[in-house]
Amino acid sequence: MQDPFGRNISYLRVSVTDRCDLRCVYCIAEDMTFLPRREVLTIEELDRLCGAFIRMGVRKLRLTGGEPLVRREIMTLIRSLSAHLKTGALSELTLTTNGTQLAKYADGLAAAGIRRVNVSLDSLRPDTFKSITRWGKLENVLDGVMAAKAAGIKVKINAVALKGVNDGEVHDLVDWCGGNGFDLSFIEVMPMGDIGGERRMEQYYPLSELRTELQRRWTLKDTDYRTGGPASYVDCVETGQRIGFITPMTHNFCESCNRVRVTCTGQLFMCLGQEDSGDLRAAIRESEGDARLEAAIAEAISRKPRGHDFILDRRSSNVSVTRHMSVTGG
Ligand code: SAM
């Protein structure tokens, strides 16, 4: 699958639900209205959709949300998709999770061939964690992360950098991840979705500043390690772990973009930062065979834009893309 700019599309991220058991302040409004069930793809439809992408050349598949592990029957989908790992069609099946349900699912995930998970965790302090997630319990996430580690799943921690919120614990995060063998990526807050009272510009903590802060205590060595994604990486000499910086606001990473995203309603977004999309749900629901679905995917990929266009506009709105990250999936 090649897009008009010659980029090979081999990485699919699928949001399996818009629902989440947390309400992170930068991501989702507290009183978020979730989609009616009939609009959301069933587990069978999600399986069919992923199967079509895999036939068309997707090699890496990431399930996200909302929170993927609050979706009912999620293990049915994961077990079915893991069959593509066994045939070699997929090289990796993974997920991005907030970790609250990991203690329950870690063993099942490992048995299904999940080798790595990304866990979103912005703070190691119970009070700060609660204030970011509005009602999350840090303890549940830490139990989940440790269960994944015990099950032999490699954990990467993703932390959104928030000025005045978790900027005082960046060293603790490096230390804790280093001690546990977890890679760590920091993410700049992105202007997605209208999240009500929270002021995005006030939360924005440039990772250039964060990196300078880290260098006060740690030796960071540049590496050319890349995943084709938006992160640049350094090796932390003292801990031996990799630290990633995901900087959509300050760097352009679109030239190497190999990914597309599907929402839980079957909308295919060719770029996280643009509004254009393709409707795959109609192709799935109105046709029994997959020819129409594959044609809809190919047509949408032919419209993948060159790059995204996030703008943090100080004068008017704080939002340049109106849908929430919980819709497109992170
Ligand atoms: N519930 C799962 C989780 O917590 O990882 C998957 C979905 S969540 C939307 C995926 C990632 O997007 C999380 O790491 C979250 O912190 C990040 N995220 C959400 N809104 C964001 C924003 N406005 N800017 C940057 N990252 C954001």
Residues in the chain: 330
Which residue of 62, 187, 245 sits with most ligand 1 atoms within 8 Å of its CB, as the best mutation to test the pocket?
Answer: 187
User: Measuring CA to CA, which residue among 263, 274, 266, 183 is closest to residue 13?
Assistant: 263
C-alpha of residue 291 to centroid of ligand 1, in Å: 33
- Compute the distance between CA of residue 138 and CA of residue 19 in angstroms, rounded to an integer: 19
pTM: 0.92
The amino acid sitting at 3 is D
- Which range, of 46-55, 227-236, 305-314, averages the lowest pLDDT? 305-314
Q: Which residues pair with 187 in a beta bridge?
A: 160, 246
User: Measuring CA to CA, which residue among 280, 274, 328 is closest to residue 305?
Assistant: 274
**Per-residue pLDDT, 307:** 82
Nearest protein CA to atom 5 of ligand 1, as residue: 97
Q: Which atom of ligand 1 is nearest to the CA of 330?
A: 10
Residues 6+ apart with CB under 8 A from 166: 122, 123, 128, 132, 159, 160, 173
The amino acid sitting at 220 is L
**Per-residue pLDDT, 315:** 38
CB 124 within 8 A of CB 173: yes
The amino acid sitting at 75 is M
- Which range, of 86-100, 162-176, 201-215, averages the lowest pLDDT? 201-215
Calculate mean pLDDT across residues 164-181: 97
- Compute the distance between CA of residue 282 and CA of residue 37 in angstroms, rounded to an integer: 16
- Compute the distance between CA of residue 84 and CA of residue 67 in angstroms, rounded to an integer: 23
98 CB less than 6 Å from ligand 1?
yes
Q: How many CA atoms lie within 13 A of 101 on its CB side?
A: 17
Residues 6+ apart with CB under 8 A from 288: none
Q: What percent of the chain has pLDDT over 90?
A: 76
Nearest protein CA to atom 23 of ligand 1, as residue: 190
Distances (CA, A) of 103 to 21, 67, 110, 147, 330: 15, 14, 12, 5, 22
Q: What is the pLDDT of residues 237-289, one digit of tens each?
A: 999 999 999 986 555 667 888 999 999 999 999 987 788 999 999 999 999 99
User: Measuring CA to CA, which residue among 133, 208, 138, 204 is closest to residue 176?
Assistant: 138
Q: Where are the alpha helices (DSSP H) in the chain?
A: 43-55, 74-87, 102-111, 126-133, 138-150, 170-180, 200-203, 207-215, 280-285, 291-301, 325-328
pLDDT band at 204 (very low <50, low <70, confident <90, very high): confident
Q: Check whether 295 has a pLDDT greater than 90.
A: yes
User: Which residue reads 């606001």 in tokens?
Assistant: 249
pLDDT band at 89 (very low <50, low <70, confident <90, very high): very high
pLDDT band at 329 (very low <50, low <70, confident <90, very high): low
**Per-residue pLDDT, 316:** 42
- Compute the distance between CA of residue 247 and CA of residue 253 in angstroms, rounded to an integer: 9
Q: Check whether 318 has a pLDDT greater than 70.
A: no
- Compute the distance between CA of residue 330 and CA of residue 327 in angstroms, rounded to an integer: 9
CB 129 within 8 A of CB 144: no
- Compute the distance between CA of residue 138 and CA of residue 162 in angstroms, rounded to an integer: 17
Q: Check whether 120 has a pLDDT greater than 50.
A: yes
C-alpha of residue 87 to centroid of ligand 1, in Å: 31
**Per-residue pLDDT, 193:** 57
**Per-residue pLDDT, 76:** 98
Terminal alpha carbon distance of the chain:
22
C-alpha of residue 53 to centroid of ligand 1, in Å: 24
Q: Check whether 328 has a pLDDT greater than 80.
A: no
DSSP label of 42:
P
